[in-house]
Each structure stands twice: as C-alpha cells, then as structure tokens.
Chain A
Amino acid sequence: MSKFMQFIAVFTFMFSVQATETYFCTNELGKMPVRQGGRIKPLSVHAKESIKHLTGKSKVGDLSAVEAYCLLSAKAFGMPSKMEFKGKLEHRDTRKLFDGKKEMSYEELMQEQRTIRSAWMRIKEDNGAKKDLNRLLAKVNLYQDITAGNNWTLPLINGSETTWVPLASFLTEEKVMAMKASSSKPFETLFKNVRDEYIKTNGDDFMLEYQYDKMQLMRVAMLTTLLALAALVLFKKFTIALSFSAITLIIQTIYLVMRVYISGRAPVTNMYETVMFSGYGGLFLAMAIGHFKKEKAFIYMGLGYNVCCLMMLNFAGSMVSESISPLVPVLRDNFWLSTHVTTIILSYGALALSWIMANTIIIKKFFSKLSKNDEAYYNDLIYTSLKYGIVLLAAGIILGGVWADYSWGRFWGWDPKETWSLIVLCIYMAILHGKYTNWIPGHRFAHLIAAAFMSVMMAWFGVNYILASGLHSYGFSEGGAIFLGTFFTIQTVILLITLKSSKTSVA
C-alpha cells in the first residue's frame, strides 16, 4: 500500500466514527472556481445544478449541494460515504425495466448501464420512453463522471496561463503528502491555495455569481410582491403597496444587473430569463403607466402578473432552468438581443397586464354585478395596456425581421417563432378592429382579451415546448407542455363558466 493510500485510509478511518462523514467537504468549497459547460463559475452553482439534475432537489438529506457533490467526487479516492443517492425513474416503460421501481440508487443504476443502453437501442422510434432512457443515461454518466473525480475541475496556474484539470488528476499523492507535512488540514489548505492563486491571475469575477446564487433575490422579490399585493387587495393600503412594489422593482433590478454582469449579455436568452424579465417589465410598465395616467389599478395588474412569473421561477425549476450557459453562435449579438428580444418580452408583459385585468373582470362579474360604467372603465384600462403591448409587439417583430435580414439575409421566413408572434399581433388586431363593429360588444371584450393571451403563451412557450420538440413524438408528456396544457385548460374553463354572466351587467 502506498503512503497516499495509507493516508487516505487513516483519514477516512478518523471520520468514520461520526454519523455523516464529510471529510474535507465543507460549504466553503462553494467558493472554488470551476470550469464546466463552457464557462467558469463557482462550485456552489455547479454543484447545485448537478445535484438538482441528478436528484431533482438541491439538497441531499442534511447535506448541501456542495457537500454532496464533494462527497461524490471524494469517492474517486476511495472515501466512502453513507449518503443515499437516488435517481427517479420517470417513464412507465423505464420503471418496467426495473420491476416497477420508481427510484433507484445511482450505484445500482451504474451496474445496470448496459441494460439501459440496450433497452434504449431496441426502441426504434424516437418516443417518450426513448427520451427518458436517454435522460437517465445522461444522469448516470454524470454520476459516473463525478464519482470518478472527472467532473470537478480545478485551475492549474502556470505563469499567466490557466489550465483546468479534473480532481482525479489534481489530487496527486505528492501534493497531499507535501501539504500534510505543513498543515493539519491538508485538503482544505490545498484547495485554498489553488483558489488564491487563481484569483491572483484571473481575478475573482466568479465570486459575483456565488453571491448572486446565495442571495436568492427572486425569493425575496416574490415575498415583497406578495406583501404589496396583500396590502393593495386585502388591506386597501395603496401607499404601502406602492412602497413594496418599488422595493420589488429595486430588488429585481439588482438581480438583473448582476445576471447581465455574470453572463455578459441581455437577460433574455432562455425561458427563465424571459419569464423574469417580462414579470419585471410588466410591473415597471404598470407603475409607469399608472403614474402618468394617475390610475391606481395598474399597480394591481403589474403586481398580479409579477407574482405569476415569480411563482414560475421559484417553483417550476424543472421547466425553466436557472442555469447560465453559453449562447448558440447566431444569438451572440448583444445589440439585437437587447433591442429585439427585450421589446418582444416587454410587449408580452404589457399584454399580460391586460390579461390579468380581463380575468379579474370576468371573475368579478361571475360573483357580483358590474355597472355599465364600471365595465367601460375597466375595458378602458385593458385597452390602455393593450396599446402599449401592441406597439411594442409590432416594433419587436419588425426589429426581429431586421435582425434576421441583417444576419441571415431574409426579413421573414415563416419560422414558427416569427409566425406565432405575427399570429399574436393579428389576433389582437382583429379584436381591436372588431371592437368597433357590433361583433364585439363591451361585455364580451374582456373575455376575448383573456382568451387572446393564450396565443401569447403559445408564441412564448408553445413554440418551444410543443412545436419545436415535434408534436408527433412527445405529445404532452414533458414539463413545459404539461404546464401549457394546464394553462390552456384552466383559462378555457374560466372563460366557459363565466360566459353566461357576461351579460348581467346593470345600467
């Protein structure tokens, strides 16, 4: 037995008396830089993403993601841990493969890799079962990669050059033994030295992401939004509601600025960012319009929509992933990203304000009666937010056309995303034109506006979750499609049951 192995054996023995051994794995390691997925980030973020990917949760028992990730990596050096590490078997056919089990430990799954792979190969068509097996294989591979000490990368500084090596080849016998001679905590010191050296040559920009991750500003923002909404709706304290709304805006602005600084681009490049930006933009627009029109009701719409968005960000992590990853080459143009995409997303925010108000009216009418004047007043509020939404949307579509023309040589190509944005515009235009015919009387306006927002959801989520994945192969089996289906169902049910009450307005 080499000295190194002896040391590891003694080292693990020292800890094995305790209940959950964590060896050198402390939360402090979250501040280590790591290069994964094409960018440099703090280990805390990478560990959280990996553990979440493997288990669906960001904690393993009492252990934080960093501790769990580190303990998994430590397995590469023969340091055992009693950590229960299980993966979910999601698809019916996948469960059948393992006697109907819904969960299995990754150690077992690793043994079964061949079974999974041959089951995957046997399925000829690209269906949900095959996709699930594919995901499972990817997870098992990730687990294997981590436990082999290959996933965790550490920087080696050589002059001004930084190379990244996996933990397995970083933690060499000489290094640990040399460190052991001078320090009572050899691993901790070793990691600390690497970090210090990295920061000396490359700066500590990655630490911003560590803080960003730690602050969890989206949770704080949700709390303040809920408080604002409660103050407004339950306690009718407008000033308090306004102050909380302002605080929310400030928090979200800080969050956005941090994110822009970390990713180096406009915060509108994936579902997570667009949802957040539209909620933020909606609240901002609502406060601005409300201020200039001297109309308090806009705050309500803005807060209502922001709550919806924040709920999604905080509770639907599997559908809208928070992680920051490099962009595909064609989108790498900050000017167009920050003009075209932000305009479109802002327009969705504005249209969502009208959707909130429309639903409020039709539900209100279902439970009590509205006078003709009230109806006209509320319809006017909807109309005002629609105006902003439509102008922004039209401008956004045109900017998109100009970008496409500039980088692909065509203004319009009937691509599903562009086509759906045009469908949205057309549907709202049809309603706006129809408003002046006897086809759309005042009492039906809100219903139509609530229904029209489904086209926004289709353009925003549906194109990615239903159309892009190909209807024929996955149907409504995936997270995003289930969410969208549920949204459409609930909205349709609300529209149907309130349809009769629409005419009950009193003069």
Chain B
Amino acid sequence: MNNLYNKIERTIGGLKFAVFIILIFSLMMTIGTFVESYYGTDFANRIIYKTPFFMGIQFFMFLSILFATFVRLPMKKRLYGFYVIHTGLIVIGVGSFVTYIAGIDGTIHLPPMTPTRQIVLNDDVIEVVMPDDNKRASLNLPYAALTKDLDVKYGDIEVIKYLPFAEKVLSWENELAKTNSPNTHSSQYNIANDNVAEDFILSLHPESYDFKASMTMGLLNITYLPKAMARCFTLPNKDKLILWNSVESVCTTTEELGIKVQKTSTGKRFFAIKNGETVYSFLPDLSPWAMDPDLRPIQNSPIRVFSMELFEEKPHLFLFGERAAFYDKDEKKWLVQAFDNKKQMELPWMGFTLTLLQHHDKKVPTYLPKATLPIQKNGQLIKGDFKAARVKIRDNEYWVTNERPVSLLIDAKKVNIYLTKKSFMLPFEFTLSRFKMEKDPGTNSPASYESFVDLFTDSGTSNHHIYMNNPLKYDGFTFYQASYSQDPETGQYSSTLSVNVDQGRPIKYLGSLLLVLGSIWHYALNNRSRKKENDILGLDS
C-alpha cells in the first residue's frame, strides 16, 4: 500500500506529469477562449470553464504541485524558493476552492428611489408560487450548456426539459381554451418602403402573450381592432364618434343611434347612452371609458367610445385583419381599404406598402423556444438569449420561458411558474438616492458613473458613494459599480451593482504573495553556479 502511494506520489509529483497536465490545461483554456469569442461568456463557462472535467484538470494540477513538493522533502536549502512558490500555488488553490464552495457572486439592480434588497445570482431556477396556499418553491436547474432532459418534481409539477440557450420560433398554435367571440383574430403583416422592411404581428386573442394589439413604428402608430369595427369607419359620422360594445361585439355611431352630442360649459363634448338599465355618460375627447356621476372612469363598462378626431393629426393606421383604415389628410376624410389580390395596399406615408402575410380567426401566434447555440457579438448575445423549460402538469405540457411565466389553476388553486435567476434577500436594504454620470467633454461617452446610496440597517441609516474602483464593503458583502441603464421615457438612471462575498480572498492574497516572493527568491537571490544548476531537480538519485 505504502509502495503504491509512493509510486503515485512520484508519478503525479514528477516533471513529466507536470508538463503533461500544464499542456492539457493550456489547451483547454485555448479552446475556451475561442468558444467564448464565438458563443459568449456564459456558454464557455457552462461547457468548459465550470465543468467537472476542467475542474478535474485543475485538481490534478493541484495534486501535481502538492506531490512535487512532498517528494522534495525534507527541506533542502537551495530549494527554499521552490518550496515557497509551490506553497503559494497550493494556498491559492485552497483559497479558490473556498470561494467556489462558499462564495456568493451576484448583482443588485437599483431603480431610482426604490428600496431594494434582492440579489440576483447566476443560476437558473424554476420558481413555483402558489399564492392561495402561501407556498413558494425553488427548483434548481442544472448548469448545462446544451438541452438537458430532467426529472425534477414538485407536487404535480414536473420539469422535464431545460433549454439554457434558445431562440424564438414563431408558431400559429390552436387555442387552448375555446373562445366563442369573433374578435380573437390575429394577423401578420409586412410594411416596407425602399429603405426599410419589417414584419409584425398583431393579435386580439386572449392567449396571445407575445403579441399585442398596438405598436409604434417610428412616427407611425398602428392599432389592431376587431374586424366588426371596420363597418363604423365607413358610416356617415358627423360627430366622428364610434361606440363599441365589447360584450355583443357590435359597433355603432352616435349618428346611427340618433344620440345628440352636447357641450359642457367648458366646451367639452359629452353624451349619454342607455344600455339595459344603466345610463353611461361619456366625455369622448377625454376618455374612451364611460364616466360615473363623479367623473371617474368605469373600467368595466361594456361600451366604449372612440373619437376619430383624436387620430387625424398624426399618422395613425387602424387594422382590422383584412382591412385597414386611416385618415386621408388631403381629402379630409377617413378611408377604409381592403388589400388587393396580391394582398398589398399602399399607405399614404413615406411610400410604405403594407402586405398581409397571414390572417387567422382562431389560431394564436406564439413564440416557441427552440434550442440553439448562442452567438455573442461585442459582449452581447445576439442569438440564443432566451431560456426555456418544458413543464408537465398532470397530462398537459407547457413552455415556461424567462420572458413568460405559466399561470394556471390546479384544483381551483392559482399556480404561477417562473423561469428566473436564483436570488436571495440581503439582511439590509438599499436605495439609490442619486446617480451621477460624467461624460468626456464635448462627447457622449461616459467618463465615470457613480451611485449615491442610502443603506438602511438595524443600526440606522448611512449614506455611501460607490463608483468605479471604489466599492462599498458592508457586513461581509462588497458592492461594486458594475453598470447602469437609463429609462428611455423618463431619462432616469438605474444603477447595477455587482455584489460579492468571498471568504477565500485573504487566502488567495496570501498565496499570491508567497508565489511572487518565492519566484524572486528562486530566480534572483539563489545565485547558483552552473554546475549546481544541473542539480536543480533536487532529487538526489
């Protein structure tokens, strides 16, 4: 036994093994950097740097260094430098292991003036929230690079597949719950002129989570309306008011109903309409909703009013699936057009042509996840930036993605399933009180960005200033200025800090110090004669 150990020690501690393991390590790192450049940092971590195989290589490097030291014991004076170098490496290895086991590495996102204590980590989890039972569970997903079949169960919920990198593929699915309303149609269009071309999908179906009923494209606003509403755009309509009954799916106009539109003392138009027993009054130029006597909007009223005048000034396109309406400024009237036999129509703005690509009354446009290899460009994933998990609940299967949770009822109890990052709560709270950004004079490139935060703890409130190269240390956590984002509408800045707990830090620092001092000792101070140099191995044979 002892003999076998000696043999292993001499082999792994030997120079040939050292050269071999160093070269394997270098080769893996080289592959890693190329993978990183093509597929992105996260993918490279998942497929190389943080795999058991690569960790194993590092473990054998560690053993090689350790045994190489052991076989050169007892201490020889001329090898002091060598011992210090190798001890330094061993200490660094131990420190890194401590960090790997116990360290925390995450980010905290600070919106302006909002108390925050949630730290987001890098691991993906499935989160199951049952608000009725007040239950919450976190199911860990593996740190995999490629699609993985799983068998993770929580009650009736079973996670069967995990796609760490996926892209969205458009699919027209059958509706899950049958709808009777005629106003659940969806359409796919293309809008193009000489310079730009873009496809877009609009949908009124209640199950369409990925597509909405309105969008803006530069200056052009597009609204998707029930097809039954198209009729009312053609009716003679002096008041330019269309009434829509969403329960019965019919439209009408004030003129058709013979309702008189009056004016308030301040010159605002108003009218009232009786529906069954209820009287709804409207201020059509202010709100589409009916008003109660206190002039508060009644959100659940079945009737809404649509004032066409509001959409005449700016380019506004209304689509009803196979028809379109817009205001012709030259002729000063509303036009309703159908597509020609090539399914195309000319629009009055910037030479745009609109093409109807698809139209479905009942099918639901949905993005389905499909596994893909990611592609990174300038530090950002341009493909594969989408995660998904296939979840089986009793006999039905659902896709949960990082963009869309699944919400459903199990035994009449509400269940929400999210695919998200693992997170945990800090024992104290942060507020971003001010964010300062300085730019290089005369340019738009940031010269520095700084966060001023208020820290609320049990022992009171304190103010801190966090910026590049000036982190905040508190309660074992260290907070670093990492990045920022700006709200495109309000212009307000949010700040992102990276948060970290590293118990291995002092150990790694000590190891580093030993390594550097040892190298200097070994090479500079150890003035060997050439004859002795040949005996550098220190293995007295």
Q: Are B15 and A430 touching (Cβ within 8 A)? A: no
Q: Mark B21-44, 1 if CB is under 8 A from A, else 0.
A: 011011001101110111001001
B508, closest chain A residue (CB): A411
A156 to B480, CA, bound (A): 40
Q: Are A420 and B33 touching (Cβ within 8 A)? A: yes
A194 within 8 A of B: no
Q: Mark A317-332, 1 if CB is under 8 A from B, else 0.
A: 0000000001001101
Q: Mark A106-141, 1 if CB is under 8 A from B, else 0.
A: 000000000000100100001000000000000000
The answer, among B16, B45, B439, B512, for a CB contact under 8 Å with A401, is B512
B306 within 8 A of A: no
Q: Are B195 and A471 touching (Cβ within 8 A)? A: no
Within 8 A of A (CB), among B194-250: 194-196
Within 8 A of A (CB), among B331-376: 375-376
Q: Are A406 and B469 touching (Cβ within 8 A)? A: yes
Q: Which of A12-20, A32-40, A215-223 contacts B (4 or more CB under 8 A)?
A: A32-40
A395 within 8 A of B: yes
Chain A residues, CB < 8 A from B293: none
A205 within 8 A of B: no
A466 to B468, CA, bound (A): 28
Q: Are A426 and B26 touching (Cβ within 8 A)? A: yes
B271 within 8 A of A: no
Q: Which of A179-187, A261-269, A432-440 contacts B (4 or more CB under 8 A)?
A: A432-440
Chain A residues, CB < 8 A from B498: 408-409
The answer, among A35, A412, A463, for a CB contact under 8 Å with B442, is A35
Chain A residues, CB < 8 A from B469: 330, 332-333, 336, 406-407
A422 to B16, CA, bound (A): 20
The answer, among B22, B29, B482, B519, for a CB contact under 8 Å with A394, is B519
Chain A residues, CB < 8 A from B41: 414-415
A391 within 8 A of B: yes
A473 within 8 A of B: yes
Interface size bracket, A side: 35 or more
- Binding site of A, secondary structure by majority: helix, strand, loop or mixed? helix
Count how many chain B residues have C-beta atoms less than 8 Å from C-beta atoms of the other chain.
Answer: 63
Chain A min CB distance to B234 (Å): 37
Within 8 A of B (CB), among A408-433: 408-412, 414-416, 419-420, 422-423, 426-427, 429-430, 433
A472 to B512, CA, bound (A): 37
Known: A121-B195, A436-B15. Is A391-B442 also a contact (CB below 8 A)?
no
Known: A35-B442, A37-B443, A121-B196. Is A433-B18 also a contact (CB below 8 A)?
yes
Chain A min CB distance to B142 (Å): 19
A390 within 8 A of B: yes
Known: A38-B445, A121-B195, A434-B15. Is A409-B36 also a contact (CB below 8 A)?
no
Chain A residues, CB < 8 A from B471: 406-407, 409
A224 within 8 A of B: no
Q: B15, B22, B515 — which one has the most chain A CB atoms within 10 A of its CB?
A: B22
Known: A409-B498, A434-B19. Is A391-B29 also a contact (CB below 8 A)?
no
Q: Which of B131-139, B253-261, B318-326, B446-454 contacts A (4 or more CB under 8 A)?
A: B446-454
Interface set of B (CB-CB < 8 Å, partner A) = 15-16, 18-19, 22-23, 25-26, 29-30, 32-34, 36-38, 41, 44-45, 49, 96, 99, 105, 194-196, 375-378, 439-443, 445-449, 468-469, 471, 478, 480, 482, 498-500, 502, 505, 508-509, 512, 515-516, 519-520, 523-524, 530, 536-537
Report 24 cross-chain contacts, Cβ distance below 8 Å, ordered by A residue.
A37-B442, A38-B441, A38-B443, A38-B447, A39-B441, A164-B442, A330-B468, A387-B524, A391-B516, A391-B523, A395-B516, A405-B502, A412-B96, A416-B33, A419-B29, A419-B33, A423-B30, A426-B26, A430-B22, A433-B15, A439-B16, A463-B33, A467-B36, A470-B37
Other A-B pairs beyond A37-B440, A408-B498, A439-B19, 19, CB < 8 Å: A36-B442, A38-B440, A38-B447, A39-B440, A40-B441, A332-B469, A390-B519, A398-B516, A409-B502, A416-B36, A419-B32, A430-B18, A430-B19, A430-B23, A430-B26, A434-B15, A436-B537, A467-B33, A470-B37
